[in-house]
Structures are given as structure tokens and as C-alpha cells.
Amino acid sequence: MKKYSSVFHDIILLLLLFLLGAGLAGCFSHDGDDDSAPPPSETPPENPPPVVPPPGPAKYIILFIGDGMSLENEIAASRYLYGKDYSLTWHSFPYQAYVTTWDVDTYNAYAGDLGEPFYDETTFDPLLGYNPAQGGTAPYPLDTTGNIAYLLRAYTDSASAATAYATGLKTDSGNISWLRNDPLNGAIETIGEKLRAQKSAAFGVVSTMPFSHATPAAFVSHNTSRSNYYQIADEIIGTTVPEVVIGGGHPSWNGSYMSTAQLDTLRSSATYTLVERVSGQDGGVNLLYAAASLPSDRKLFGLFGGTGGIFEPPVPRDNPGYPGFMVEGENPSLSEATQAALTVLARNQNGFFLMVEGGDIDQANHANNFAWMVGAMWQLEEAVAAAVEFIDQPGDDMNWDNTLLIVTADHCTGGMRLNDALPLGKGDLPRQSGSSYPDNELSYFSGSHTNEPVTLYARGANLDLFSEYEGVRYPGTKLLDNTEVYLVMSRAAGLQ
């Protein structure tokens, strides 16, 4: 009996020790409702949970540019579409800041006024390119102190602004990814070209403007003048050869942006599948079908546009409470063009860079045409929403841990100011007579570009990089420079 009693005692002792250990473990357990943690001296478990590494480089980078888009344009479009000031898709993105847009010509104009040296990469003073004490620390209406005369004194053009985003370098107005002062062999490698060379990634551009126009051209070509449309088209088609090009400029409607000989080259190309505007056919349907069925060894070229060279803009209806648009269907929407581009570029498992431009926002603002601006802003809103949906869709490699999506502008145009004493509501348009507004719901102070800062919104991978540049050149503000946006994209992609 003593033998069995001893064994029984041992069993009881083991059970007590087991239960005591389980109880102690329960005291140190951690869930979402308990902020307690083991003391520092606690011996770690034998099999600790794996450490989750920080996000790696962004494989997929999508940059949306609203050409000439101001924050007031965003607010106006949001009111028309949703009846609220900040309800566009990108207004919910987690990172938001502002961007200075000055180029070399802008800098030199202000420097000359003050008797300061002209721009030099190694010694420049950012406050000569943009001075928040003169222009404001944030876009209007967040900061209403901007001096209009200062904002109109000098400003960037779209070519040099796009070059800053594409290459990280300031250049002269009119230059397309080319060094300032136009030296021989002054072409600057763009972010898309670097991604292709270093990572075998793909790149492309989409725009409502002609494909050889300033903003898309700066991401896929190099030239001393934005006006050399045929030269730019030649380089895009025959030398740079991006995986996707979608834009206006079809010579059957406007021959300024490419020649019929260049069109014939595209039609017989062994590299590109060409989808072009055809009378009576739905351009969006044709483009999306071509993207979905594109052979693996082919690239996509979408060529559309109307008499102005651009995609014919949607026309908003003045129907309070019920926003809507009249749309011409032979050109794709910017949303359809974006979806087609993403479909093709996402085939490359090494990643891609895509620039999408809502280009005729700028043209509408040059004309002080509010209704046109609202239609162009709707196009951009739908395109950004389509990109978000594309990233969210399951079954592929793209997700918010490896994708960086940015929405910004290259500069402001027109100086539109809303009259908040007479706010426009959902579906509501002002009475418009040419470029004037008799009921005073809004006004413009210019028909040109301005040096106002623009907004920037970002979602996805490596957002912390933006904070490293925010306010560095302009302490105490949320201002970044457009060249620093390039640096964020380049570092996020892991480029050398």
C-alpha cells in the first residue's frame, strides 16, 4: 500500500503543478481588452510568435495628377457630386500634405526681383522658389493669407512640373525630362525607365490630353521643348516604348500631336496593339476588351481624342440634388483607361509605375469654365475610385502592403474662389455666361497658372517616407517639394 500511496502522491503533486502553471499563464495572457504584459524578466516562450517584418519596397506605384487642380476645385467637385466639401475618394486617404510646384524659371524670377543669385542645385534657397509668408502655408481656403500678386508673379508650367515628379530634378519651363539650360545629352532618366532597368518592371501613362502633351510626355520621353510633339511621339513609339500608352492626339481629329505616318507605324507595329477612336464605336469597351485579351508579348496603345486633341469632356447637368453628366462614348472614360492600363501592367510580377493625368482640368481652369472643370474632376474621381477597386480585388498579388497610390496636382490654374456665402449644393451649377458668373457663387482671379501650393494624398506602402520630407524645406508647415515626391516614390520602390 505504501508503494501505491507514493505513486498516488506523486500524481497529485504533478497535477497541482500543472494547474498552477496554467493559472499563472492565464494571468499573463494578452488580448485586445488587456494592456498587461509579462514583466521584462519573464523567460520567453520556447516558440514565440514570428516577428512581422516591416513592409518591403512598393512593387506597384500609381501617381494621379490633376493638371491645374486646386483645392477649391476639389471642394467644388465634391459639393456637386456628394453635397459635402471633402468627400472625393482621395479625401479619406491616410496621408495628406501640400506640395510646392516652382520650377527654375519661377525661382529665377523671384530671385531677380530680390537681387539674389539665380538657381543652382547646390546652393538654392527654397524660400526663393516659394515663400509661405507670401503665398500661404497651405492651399486656399485652408490658408487665406496668400498674396495674389505674389502667386501670379511667376509659376511653373506643366512640362517642368511633370519633370520634377518624373525625375526629381528642377528644370526650365517647357523642358521634358531634360536638364536645365538645355545641354547636349541632357536627357534625365525617369522613374519608369529606372524601374525597368533596375527591376525589369513595367511602366505606362494615361491622360485625357494628347499622349505627346507635356505631362504624359515627361514620364516617357525627353526633349528640350514640350512643343516638339512629333519628336516626342517618335521617341515614345520607337525608343522608350512604354508597356502602356493611352491618350488623345489622334491625327484624324487633330494633326498637331502626331503625324499620319506615325499612326501608320503604330497600326503595323509588331510591339503595340493599337486601339483607336472609331466613329460609332464605344472606345471604352474596345479598350477594355483589348487589355483583357492582349497577348503576353504585346503592349497596349490607346489613341483617342477629338478636335481639340483631348478626350471630349463630360458635361454636368444643372439638376439640384441629382448630379449627372452627358458623356460622349467614342472616347473611353478616364476610369476605363485606368482600368485598361492596370490590367496590362499588372501582368508584370516585377511591378510597375503608372501615371494617370486628368489633363483637361487645367484647360477648363484656363478658360475659367466651371462646368467643364466639374466634368473633368468627375473623370479623375472615377479613375481614382477604379484604381482603389483594382487594388482591393482579391486573387492577385496587388494589395495595400505593396502598392503606393498618390493623388496630387502639378500646379494650380485660374485662382478659382468659391463664395461660401452662396454655397452650391449637390447637383447644383452656377449660372454661367462664358467665363463670368452673374450670381457671384464663385470667381477667378486669373486665366493662367499660379504658384499656389497643391494638395497631396497617399495610401498604401511606405507612407512614413513622406514624413521624412514634410516641412524640411519649409519648417513648421506640411509642405513638401514636388522633387521630394519623386524621392518618396523612388525610395519606396527601392531604386538606386
Q: How far is CA 192 from CA 14, 208, 347, in A?
A: 67, 20, 16
Q: Report the alpha-carbon distance of residue 262 to residue 274 in Å, rounded.
A: 12
Q: Render pLDDT for 291-313 as a digit per residue (tens, 0 to 9).
A: 999 999 999 999 999 999 999 99
Angle at CA 360, nearest 5°, toward 359 and 361? 95
Q: Report the alpha-carbon distance of residue 190 to residue 460 in Å, rounded.
A: 22
Q: What is the pLDDT along the chain (496 residues), one digit of tens a residue?
A: 333 344 334 434 343 334 334 443 333 333 333 333 333 333 333 444 444 444 468 999 999 999 999 999 999 999 999 999 999 999 999 999 999 999 999 999 999 999 999 999 999 999 999 999 999 999 999 999 999 999 999 999 999 999 999 999 999 999 999 999 999 999 999 999 999 999 999 999 999 999 999 999 999 999 999 999 999 999 999 999 999 999 999 999 999 999 999 999 999 999 999 999 999 999 999 999 999 999 999 999 999 999 999 999 999 999 999 999 999 999 999 999 999 999 999 999 999 999 999 999 999 999 999 999 999 999 999 999 999 999 999 999 999 999 999 999 999 999 999 999 999 999 999 999 999 999 999 999 999 999 999 999 999 999 999 999 999 999 999 999 999 999 999 999 999 9
Match 518624373 to its residue by C-alpha cell.
166
Match 490607346 to its residue by C-alpha cell.
302
Domain 60-492 has CATH 3.40.640.10: no
Q: Look at the pTM and tell me if it is higher than 0.75.
A: yes
Domain boundaries, given as residue ranges, for the chain? 60-492
Burial zone of 272 (CB within 10 Å; 0-12 exposed, 13-18 middle, 19+ buried): buried
Q: Render pLDDT for 63-114 as a digit per residue (tens, 0 to 9).
A: 999 999 999 999 999 999 999 999 999 999 999 999 999 999 999 999 999 9
Cβ proximity of 459 and 94 under 8 Å: yes
Q: Render pLDDT for 168-196 as a digit per residue (tens, 0 to 9).
A: 999 999 999 999 999 999 999 999 999 99
